[in-house]
Amino acid sequence: MIGRLLFLLGCAAFWGRAEESASNLLLRGWREFGAAYEAWSAPRFGAAVELFRQAATNTPASITNHYWLGAAQFHLLLCLRHSPGAATNAAAAQAALEGAIATLETAVKLDPRHSESHALLGTLYGMKIGGNWIRGARFGPRVAKHQAAAMEQGADNPRVRYLLGTCQFNTAKKKAERQAALETLLAAEKLFAAEVQQPAGPLEPRWGRSSCLTFIGQTYELLGQFAAAAEYFQKALALHPADHLAREGLARVASKP
């Protein structure tokens, strides 16, 4: 009897240490993610991924751990795809894409109402399609399913609107479609502006605002509204000086009438 009690106490102490370790890893990962975002650094996003992965391994039933792991993998993917020398990072980017999808599919199983995980999944499956009609037939329904779930649960979440707008932007071919993407992104901008007025809780997501402004600039550029595009590229750079897409966009439109 005493031996069994000691065994149970030992198990409780072990799991208590695991929970504490996961919490510490999560906080460290969150700080590393913030530093990676500010510097737009693939190695630092990779470091954040590993910290979140360890946290998720320690407490596999935690939606927070899986959400942050998926968000870090998503940003690692973006960094690898859209940085100088990105062509050399194709295999690593593909691994980040597949890893993010697997992680976030687990997240929405843990919490089917988690809007940002659904929004990220809709975006990732859209990236997986990549304009290929065969992959579109396979993954298109998953894009629609996750986007619908994201909007149902988080219509007032700025990251949900922003990610939906990026999907619209990347698939828009006609002026009306680009205008629709712009309206979604402008709605996200308003939600981001309201969010920043509220104090952020521990580990609360606050990413996406500057990138939303960059996409607005790119959309205005495609619509031929170059002064508005320049204004938004400048806004993005004021928030995130490391945003090379905004910097490149500003250079493009600076010479336009």
Note down pLDDT in tens along the chain; length 257 residues: 444 433 333 444 434 444 558 789 999 999 999 999 999 999 999 999 999 999 999 999 999 999 999 999 999 999 998 866 655 688 899 999 999 999 999 999 999 999 999 999 999 999 999 989 999 999 999 999 999 999 999 999 999 999 999 999 999 999 999 999 999 999 999 999 999 999 988 899 999 999 999 999 999 999 999 999 999 999 999 999 999 999 999 999 998 87
Residue 13 falls inside a structural domain: no
Domain shared by 98 and 170, yes or no: no
Is 23 within a domain? yes
Same domain for 50 and 70, yes or no, is yes
Q: Is residue 184 part of a domain?
A: yes
Residues 29 and 125 both lie in one domain: yes
Which amino acid belongs to residue 187?
A
pLDDT on residue 44 = 97
Domain identity same for 141 and 225: no
Indicate if 29 and 142 belong to the same structural domain.
yes
- 179 and 231 assigned to the same domain: yes
Please state the pTM of the whole predicted model. Answer: 0.90
Does residue 223 share a domain with residue 180?
yes
For residues 26 and 150, membership in a common domain is answered with yes
The predicted structure's pLDDT at residue 257? 72
* Structure tokens that stand for 92 in this block: 């690593």
Q: If 0-12 CB within 10 Å is exposed, 13-18 middle and 19+ buried, where does residue 166 land?
A: buried
Residue 2 lies in a domain: no
User: Angle at CA 107, nearest 5°, toward 102 and 111?
Assistant: 150
Burial class from Cβ neighbours inside 10 Å (0-12, 13-18, 19+) for residue 206 reads middle
Domain count, the chain: 2
The residue among 89, 121, 155 that closes a domain is 155
* Whether 114 and 174 share a structural domain: no
Query: What is the rounded distance in angstroms from the CA atom of residue 108 to the CA atom of residue 39?
Result: 29
* 11 assigned to some structural domain: no
Establish if 26 belongs to a structural domain. Answer: yes
Range of the domain at 108: 19-155
Residues 241 and 219 in one domain: yes
| Separate counts of helices (H) and strands (E) for the chain | 11, 0
Which CATH number goes with the domain that contains 249? Answer: 1.25.40.10
